[in-house]
Amino acid sequence: VLFLFGCTGKMGGWIANALSGIITVAPATMTILLIAIVMFIFQFANMYVNSVFWYIFNDVIPPQYFGRVMGAYRVGATAGIAIFNYFVFQYAKEYFSLIFICAAVLYAVGVGAMCFLLKEGEYPPVEEETKKKKSIKDSLQNFLTESCCSRFYIYRYTLCTVSALTNCAYIFTYYFNMEMGLNDKLIGRMDGISGIITFVLTLVLTATVGFLVDRWHPMRICTYYLVLNVIVLSSGWCWMFVEIPGEVYAVYSIVKGIGSAGIVVLFGIASLPMQMLIFPKSRFGSFCSAQALIRAGFYTLFGLIVGVVFDFLKTYFPGEETFHYRAIHIWAFLFSVPTAIMAIVTYREWGRLGGYKNYKAPASWNKEGYEEIKQAEPK
């Protein structure tokens, strides 16, 4: 699918010419339609791969090493992003086809290596009850009943969804950066330098304090981050009133990134381990799927809404082509408030269920009503 992304530019023209005898469609319009179709296919395929990919973490990594392994993973991911932004992003317009084709090759090699080289452990045999075939209706009902068997899980799904909606408007970040006086080269350098700094901090934090994620519990780190994020995002209001040169804004963004990189890195390291320690291991895939379905549904809906909102905002700034994109930070701030509230509510419910040392995952399928989850024992 990534390979198809690289071919959409030429394919759009070919398809438009091929259909010229039937309907008249501009090559640009056909290209946009083709990109939308390929994007849909990519998101579907990527969700399938990512779901299985993340579940492997929970199967093969001991709980006491969740934070450190995730930190090591983020070191590699951050390095790749930094290298791309600093060296490649500035050529994205001219060579987007080549970039996508190279990305497709790298993806195939990376995922292929994981499939062939990763060795999984032994799993308990499947229970006889599980082997019985069920109708689609019964399977769906069972999925919904188990995934929503506790208000704690409902809180968690809501938190994940609202947190995702905070990022909806960031799809316009490129136009915001252009509004702030940056060009492609400067954007790439700015993001690249920020990425390099984040890479170094990720490496240092993983090597020095990564164990704190395991010792202090990822739930606490994620909650504190989401609450403090309200204060950080509130600073975005200033761009509705402040005008500064593009070079100054680039420096400001890098400095701001340095100031917040530590807690952002810790949050990134803690996110997946937190889910591993709150969702029942026997149903981890089902619970992550339920969460992803709810989040993706609302994110898709609000992805449409945010476009309408920004088109509406543009009418208030008729003399400015891109000024309304400064409101992306206001959108993020407004959604960060309910995110923080849900984070606190979820944290309190987690504490009621046992918290740091005695948490038990609610489980309607067990006669005890809960499932033991081995918590981290730092070494």
- pTM of the model as a whole: 0.77
pLDDT (tens digit, 9 = 90+) per residue, 283-295? Answer: 888 898 888 889 8
Average pLDDT over residues 332-351: 95
Helix (H) or strand (E) run with residue 370 in it: strand 370-372
Higher pLDDT among residues 4 and 227, named by residue: 227
Q: What is the dihedral of CA 377, 281, 129, 289, to 10 degrees?
A: 180
Average pLDDT over residues 98-112: 85
* pLDDT score at 62: 72
* pLDDT score at 333: 95
Region for residue 320 given its phi and psi (left: phi exceeds 0; alpha: psi -120 to 50; beta: otherwise): beta
Helix (H) or strand (E) run with residue 153 in it: helix 151-166
Tokens coding 378: 């730092």
- Phi, psi at residue 22, to the nearest 5°? -105, -55
Higher pLDDT among residues 241 and 197, named by residue: 241
DSSP conformational letter for 371:
E
Average pLDDT over residues 101-106: 87
Residues making up the chain, counted from first to last? 379
**Cα–Cα distance for residue pair 9/16, rounded to 1 Å:** 11
pLDDT (tens digit, 9 = 90+) per residue, 115-169? Answer: 787 776 666 665 655 556 667 777 888 888 999 999 999 999 999 999 999 998 9
**Cα–Cα distance for residue pair 256/258, rounded to 1 Å:** 5
Tokens coding 257: 């990134």
Q: Within a 10 A sphere around the Cβ of 308, how many other Cβ atoms?
A: 9
Q: What letter represents residue 106's amino acid?
A: L
- Share the mean pLDDT of the chain: 82
Query: Is the pLDDT reported for residue 261 higher than 60?
Result: yes
Q: Residue 372, Cα to own-chain centre: how many angstroms?
A: 28
Query: Nearest-CA neighbor of 274 among 190, 364, 361?
Result: 361
Tokens coding 294: 């709810």
Query: Is the pLDDT reported for residue 111 higher than 90?
Result: no
Pairing relationship of beta strands 370-372 and 360-362 according to DSSP bridges: antiparallel
DSSP conformational letter for 25:
-
Query: Is the pLDDT reported for residue 331 higher than 60?
Result: yes
By percentage, how much of the chain surpasses pLDDT 90?
Answer: 18
Query: Is the pLDDT reported for residue 19 higher than 90?
Result: no
